[in-house]
Chains A and B, each alone.
Chain A
């Protein structure tokens, strides 16, 4: 509102003198033009290569599959199909998987973030850098190497045998456990960052006050630190649970044929069975789920000012 007011005032005064209206004064026309071009170019590009494709998927999801093609229609059959039988079970399994894997990621990441937030400023930068470097190195290569490590006769098997934690060959690949290990491995760095940012911002005097009022360290953590880190937890959930809904690489490489997830089933509709409307309905279901997650998270973090990256 105030912005628009300022716009109006600057437009009115611009014709006359250049000195009065503080901010953006000279030649309103070119100034507006530049600003609009800078906003329009990205919008047009993203409309073409992001929004329009999503629109096509939504349109396809109401269509009917013909031999290798699609006839537009307004049927809900694809949704019915995607939510029943094997596909419905996969959808539910994927939701449960995303929820539990996201919780696992946060459980592993929280102590690391807590540790980072309590370092001195200089060491903190180094430690955070160490955590982030793997995230920027090739994802596929890391998962491939993890596959090697977890395979029979691999390093992990030898280490576990030496430590007497396990005996005999390790049959962890092609199981749900391996998928969980891979997921935590791949998402750990980006789970840590939002938690770290938010823990770092909790004012120290608040914790001291809690201690002064007689709360134990544990109680201070549960009743002060944990509630205050809610926005970080919400962001971490967003960054982990959401991509997991479409995850197709890790389950395929580490999980084998067991426990197929929605991402794999979805891509199979396009790359193998060519049932595009069904695949589109699955994609739309993923998008709807994400919208619900975002709404829920927004509600959880209501009252906090924006904690952005």
Chain B
């Protein structure tokens, strides 16, 4: 009887496990199907310069078409410039924020900075976008490259800050105290003790900030002008007239680029983990 019950139980367990595995696979298919579709459609012939849901034939013509599309190219260029500067600013400010969130001597300040960072993450982008638009209008700042870059930094800063914060939390405080005891100033301690230790997190944060900025659509949609138009905003706009087939070629290229950036970030992260092993035991191998 108990054997039968055990059998029953293990059968139930197996059924549940099989169901969970199936669900997981279904989720993966769901998540990846559109990505593969975007890549496949980059090679689809379409019908008379219009992309179609049916595969009508294979072609490579959309890649040169995308390259020769002047407005598309200008959008990519603008995106590259915007995300470069945004990543640079966000890394500098986000790292300082991530560090101060953990190590600022006053608890009230630490709390305030944490609250600020989490607020950044939960205010919808639409609200941030319209608020910035109004602020620029009120203060007479013309919309352009600089105002766009400044506008998309807050969210990238929050991302960098959280990555750096996670790293600072793992640092051994005693090393900093030892440095201080030996007469190092705070600035020197940061430069020579902390920065080398958090550098991998800073770099991973840089890649993330770059990807986020490159991809930003909602805030950018409010802050771009016909002169300064980033790729996501351009694509979003072009959807209203039915996307040009070249759009998918550009999209596929961008996707591969993003994937490369992510692989880079993962590699940096792995390298970081290796370099955090205690140096002193190295010779003992």
Contact = CB atoms under 8 A, between A and B. Distances in A.
A286 B125 CA distance: 11
Main SS at interface, chain B: helix
Given A131-B28, A136-B258, A3 B186 contact: no
B235 A134 contact: no
Contacts of B41: 145, 148
Given A131-B28, A149-B34, A249-B217, A286 B23 contact: no
Interface in A126-163: 127, 129-131, 133-134, 136-146, 148-149, 151-155
A246 B127 contact: yes
B130 A26 contact: no
Contacts of A136: 211, 258, 262
B100 interface: yes
A238 interface: yes
A1 B181 CA distance: 25
Given A18-B181, A25-B181, A41 B127 contact: no
B280 interface: no
Given A46-B120, A137-B35, A280-B134, A144 B235 contact: yes
Interface stretch (B58-66, B70-78, B150-158, B197-205): B150-158
B106 A4 contact: yes
Given A49-B150, A138-B232, A146-B34, A39 B28 contact: no
B27 A131 contact: yes
Contact of B124 (A19, A33, A111, A243): A243
A25 B53 CA distance: 68
Given A34-B187, A115-B20, A243-B125, A141 B130 contact: no
B134 A217 contact: no
A115 B25 CA distance: 10
Contacts of A24: 105, 177, 180, 186
A39 B109 contact: yes
Nearest to A31: B186
Contact of A111 (B20, B104, B154): B20
B235 A57 contact: no
A168 interface: no
Contacts of B37: 145-146, 148-149, 155
A139 B134 contact: no
A146 B123 CA distance: 26
B222 A56 contact: no
Contacts of B161: 42
A38 B134 contact: no
Interface in A46-101: 46, 48-50, 52-54, 56-57, 60
B116 interface: yes
B87 interface: no
A30 interface: yes
A114 B154 CA distance: 33
Given A153-B54, A243-B125, A217 B105 contact: no
Given A34-B190, A39-B104, A149 B33 contact: yes
Contact of A35 (B104, B181, B183, B251): B104
B97 A248 contact: no
Output the residue of A30, A133, A144, A294 with the most chain B CB within 10 A.
A144
Contact of B116 (A46, A127, A146): A46
A194 interface: no
A53 B128 contact: yes
Interface in B229-279: 232, 235-236, 239, 243, 247-248, 251, 254-255, 258-259, 262, 266
Interface string B36-53: 011001000000000111
A172 interface: no
A149 B126 CA distance: 27
Contacts of B19: 111
A232 interface: no
Contacts, number: 260
Interface stretch (A202-210, A223-231, A263-271): A263-271
A46 B90 CA distance: 11
Interface string B15-32: 010011101100110111
B55 to A, nearest CB: 9
A195 interface: no
Interface of A: 3-4, 7, 18-19, 22-27, 30-35, 38-39, 41-43, 45-46, 48-50, 52-54, 56-57, 60, 108, 111-112, 114-116, 118, 127, 129-131, 133-134, 136-146, 148-149, 151-155, 185, 188-189, 217, 238, 242-243, 245-249, 253, 263, 266-267, 269-271, 276, 279-280, 283, 286-287, 290, 294, 309
24 contacts: A3-B105, A25-B181, A34-B186, A38-B96, A38-B99, A39-B104, A42-B96, A53-B128, A54-B127, A57-B127, A57-B130, A115-B24, A133-B262, A140-B232, A143-B34, A145-B248, A146-B37, A151-B53, A242-B122, A249-B236, A266-B126, A280-B134, A286-B126, A290-B123
Interface of B: 9, 12-13, 16, 19-21, 23-24, 27-28, 30-35, 37-38, 41, 51-54, 93-94, 96-97, 99-100, 103-107, 109, 112-113, 116, 120, 122-135, 138, 150-151, 153-154, 157, 161-162, 166, 173, 177, 180-181, 183-187, 190, 211, 215, 217-218, 221-222, 232, 235-236, 239, 243, 247-248, 251, 254-255, 258-259, 262, 266
In the complex, the 10 A-B pairs of residues with the closest C-beta atoms, listed nearest first: A246-B124, A53-B131, A246-B126, A42-B97, A145-B38, A145-B34, A31-B186, A154-B53, A34-B186, A141-B251
